Structure 1
């Protein structure tokens, strides 16, 4: 290899070598996790941002306020559900008349009561209390319960819209997206506030920027060392 600039090439090798050394360390279990479990850098940062995401996603109180006015609102709908049998069991345990006929779920009763039960289960899941959810449904797995809520309520939205119950459908959508989905997705993850982890979060973001620039300068110096550079082309002058 023809080295055009030894100093630039050496600098590039040092930068690339140290970059690779840090890259190797990132994948080593050197970072503390929950319960004393060692984690690598990617696992640690992913765990941190999951906790921060959960800490900023507690919308259940505002969803409860939207559900409250629907107490006493009677509905009677029938629609297709992927988990009609599980949904019927969960709905019935929540105080609603629900039956499954194949993939068809028939629901009759107080919509507010039904949604309040879904929000209560979502709140317990958000707080990592799956045991209390399972206890309310004769030991049914808490994750299966939440899946039943999703598959039972999601197709109900269109059924309510067809019955010109648009506002009710909007509340069901809010319960699904801001309560049921949040409780299910973040189950088992401790919540953390951004202000409590501000130092670590800022440190990770700064490291990411510097590490990217580090790699860029390593490539630049190596290419400069072997004479590969970019120069502005000369403008041809017309005769």
Structure 2
């Protein structure tokens, strides 16, 4: 298994740049105590090798690396030439991290403590929003009579609108009926203007039915039904029996209804 090493501290020497990597020296102190019977470990010097890409991501410079505290994680190596590795142990860096300084850490902690105090002293946005709402609620009763008056006026307008009579639809004109004439009569036509075809003239209406119509005319003074006449030509289309009755009792104006030419 590979040997893992973790170093913390600052560079003890200047940054050295090579083609694809940079190198710097660090020292790591051993544990303050050792198992019984063994000697305490002393300082060990390391030469750390970091790729330029990883080093540039940290934002470190040749000057800042001498006083910034950094964390190095990597593996030991013995394959680096001595002129490039003045330390006792060479170290291939897999990860480099800049640790916060003690002063920066204390400053951040003090800022964190101040924030709750400021939040407690400053009125919250919710409280600010609540105050106008309370003022509006206090002023609301003053405007209630006005609102009630407007509501009352609106109800009055609605009541008047309901009471306004709806205009009745105009009744469709009924067919004009002539007074004292049979139902369906459209006009009174002179008896002499009616033209009777040969087909009617060659027929003889039933005498009994004809007599009933004559009796009706004597009682009422009019025919019981109008004659059907072709509009424009005045040719008799139906009602020949009543035509005969009108001729018999000598009716000058005969009630007619029109049939239009097809």
TM-score range (shorter-chain normalised) is under 0.3
| Structure number having the greater strand percentage | 2
Structure number, greater radius of gyration: 2
| Structure number having the greater helix percentage | 1
- TM-score normalised to structure 2 length: 0.20
Higher relative contact order (CA 8 A, sep 6+): 1
- TM-score normalised to structure 1 length: 0.21
